[in-house]
Structure 1
Amino acid sequence: MDWKGRRQSDNIEDERGSSPMDGGSGGGPFGGGGMGFPGGGMRRGGGLSISTIIILVVIFLVLKAMGVDVIGLLQQSGALDGGPGYQQSDSSGGNAPPANDEMKQFVATVLADTEDTWTGIFKSMGQTYTDPKLVLFSGRFPSACGTASAATGPFYCPSDKKVYLDMAFFQQMKDQFGASGDFAQAYVIAHEVGHHVQDLLGILPKFNQARQNMSEVDANKMSVRIELQADCFAGIWGKFTQQKGILQEGDLEEALNAAQQIGDDTLQKRSQGYVVPDSFNHGTSAQRVKWFKQGFQSGKLSDCDTLNNPV
């Protein structure tokens, strides 16, 4: 993907290096959030019970009375560092990412390209496209849909109109799932922006309201349709990108491979050796490939109606 030297979006909120915090309140993401990797989906806080805290305090006091430096031991073990991939930041911002961070530039360029694509499409429909914000974080970070963490994967939160992305996810795609390449990474961003498009079109609010009265199985089935439409919207963006002449040989194959690797059936076979179709909430590999290709070949919103057509 020939992305260097192109316009970069100003709608990036770089929170890497910020202190991790507990998640805020607000409505949850559309259907579990993220690209559907194991461990994905928003988690609601949790925390320790009062009895557990009391027990820990007693243990701390006993160890302290015995002369054990508990705080020192925790610092040496890294238990106070905020988890893997988290860097504590000081007031001077010493651990903040460099301003010339190439991956940030890549994400900002892809986001800008989605802005241009969807602004044009919405204008052709007589509507106005409102850009989403994209939050870069590392470790854990609060969103209006709960605490974002590396385990959730990228997701769109309709409550604050923001996409959340820990770029360590791209390395996980490559190492754990065999989905590498810059256009595969761009597909992830375009998919989440696709959920923002659904939000602006009123599709997401209707789904979030309807799912309140659905069984888990029915909600999963509807979530699959929502996810596949976001894949189709990502394909539409891909077509407009191709028309600009910035795709390189093998780029389309990278995106299709990523769609293949993150299908519910493929992920379940890899993680547990068997599949449970009623638990699918993002779509099978074949479905995800099909709908990305549908958007890529057509470039039309009308051809992405996964809600009223067989998937």
Structure 2
Amino acid sequence: MTFRGSGSIETDNVSGGGGGRGGKIALGGGAGLLVTIVALLFGLNPGDIMGGGDSGNDTAAVSEIDQHLNTCTIEKANTDTICRIKYTTISLDRVWSDLMQGYTEPKTVIFSDAVDTGCGAASSSTGPFYCPADKTAYFDPTFFDTLVRMGGSDGPLSQMYVVAHEYGHHVQNLTGALQKGNQMGSHGATSGSVRIELQADCYAGVWAYHADKGEDAMLEPLTSDQIATAIQTARAIGDDTIQGSNSNPEGWTHGSAKQRVKWFSTGYKSGDPGSCDTFSATDLG
């Protein structure tokens, strides 16, 4: 068990399908394919690179996902990926509403194969991402199978960490950190992109610290084994892990495995968003 309680909690912020067009920047998630994330950072259509150029939604798939979301309960969220995403977002909104003055809830879209967003068309190969233009986090649940093949964990908290990372980008959008990071460069071990991603990892850790505490906490007390699954996933999606022995820090966009583990752990140990200032840090790990 990860979620506590029973029955259903409804939210208008999670749906199947895509958002509108318009914006130019999307932030790659904890483990999207790097070439696609670079495209998103530069405001390109990832479909033009990855061959997923269908900008429309599969209406049948959208309908199926919405129907699935309508059946979600707290109990089901402990075994079902789509429901787990839904209830993780509710927990995230509760935690960040308490931690951040002026916090506004983002939208979450769960899609299959392809989706049209405020940042352009994207496909499943993009991986999870957040689009500032429509303030929406996007997830194709099949990504988590890819994550396991990359060496990540299939544990529930591992998946929740990925969702929490994308919500970290939303917090950055509200604070202005995204804009700051985008002005500091998109490649390199100390680039703005790396600082953005490591801060989002730290914010995911902050959420994990608070998610099992308080009267309205939605998670059962987290165990060291569960935290280890999130750390395993953070390690698996470091730039150096993905790129292998030929990894060159000058091309990094998300940070090394060691850095990602460090900053998630920093957030989890402190529970303080103030501990996540990767922009002032002279040593990122």
The verdict on a shared fold, with TM-score over 0.5 as the criterion, is yes
2:76 is matched with: none
Is 1:12 aligned to 2:14, yes or no? Answer: yes
1:3 is matched with: 3
- Paired residue secondary structure (1:27): coil
1:113 is matched with: 91
Is 1:34 aligned to 2:32, yes or no? Answer: no
**C-alpha spacing 1:90/1:240, structure 2 compared with 1 (3 Å):** closer
User: Distance in 1 between the 2:64 and 2:11 partners?
Assistant: 25
Residues 29-70 of structure 1, C-alpha deviations (whole Å, 9 max, x = no match): 14xx222443541351439xxxxxxxxxxxxxxxxxxxxxxx
Is 1:236 aligned to 2:206, yes or no? Answer: yes
Is 1:226 aligned to 2:223, yes or no? Answer: no
Residues 113-145 of structure 1, C-alpha deviations (whole Å, 9 max, x = no match): 0000000011xxxx2210000001100111111
User: Distance in 1 between the 2:189 and 2:118 partners?
Assistant: 22
Unpaired runs of 5+ in structure 2?
73-79
Aligned ranges 1:155-166 → 2 under 5 Å = 155-166=129-140
**C-alpha spacing 1:220/1:34, structure 2 compared with 1 (3 Å):** farther
Name the Cα RMSD after superposition.
2.8
- Paired residue secondary structure (1:147): strand
- Paired residue secondary structure (1:167): coil
2:279 is matched with: 307
| Residues paired across the two proteins, number | 255
Residues 151-200 of structure 1, C-alpha deviations (whole Å, 9 max, x = no match): 11000100110001001111111234242100000000000000000111
Which stretch has the larger CA shift, 113-122 or 3-12?
3-12
Give the one of 221, 242, 259 matched to 2:234.
Answer: 259
Shift of 1:220: 7.0
**C-alpha spacing 1:7/1:38, structure 2 compared with 1 (3 Å):** same
- Paired residue secondary structure (1:156): strand
- Paired residue secondary structure (1:46): helix
Identity %: 35
Unpaired runs of 5+ in structure 1?
48-81
User: Distance in 1 between the 2:222 and 2:275 partners?
Assistant: 25
Shift of 1:228: 0.4
Shift of 1:305: 0.6
Task: Check whether the contact 2:2–2:156 (CA below 8 A) recurs between aligned residues.
Answer: no
Give the one of 176, 180, 184 matched to 2:154.
Answer: 180
Bigger Rg, which one: 1
User: Distance in 2 between the 1:36 and 1:176 partners?
Assistant: 9
Q: Could you tell me which amino acid in structure 2 is paired with residue 146 of structure 1?
A: G
1:153 is matched with: 127
**C-alpha spacing 1:279/1:143, structure 2 compared with 1 (3 Å):** same
User: Distance in 2 between the 1:95 and 1:107 partners?
Assistant: 12
Shift of 1:296: 0.4
- Paired residue secondary structure (2:137): strand
Shift of 1:301: 1.6
Give the TM-score taking structure 1 as reference length: 0.74
Runs of 4+ in 1 over 6 A off after TM superposition: none
Give the TM-score taking structure 2 as reference length: 0.80
User: Distance in 1 between the 2:207 and 2:258 partners?
Assistant: 20
User: Distance in 1 between the 2:212 and 2:202 partners?
Assistant: 15
**C-alpha spacing 1:13/1:176, structure 2 compared with 1 (3 Å):** same
Shift of 1:97: 4.8
- Paired residue secondary structure (2:29): coil
Greater RCO (CA < 8 Å, at least 6 residues apart) = 1
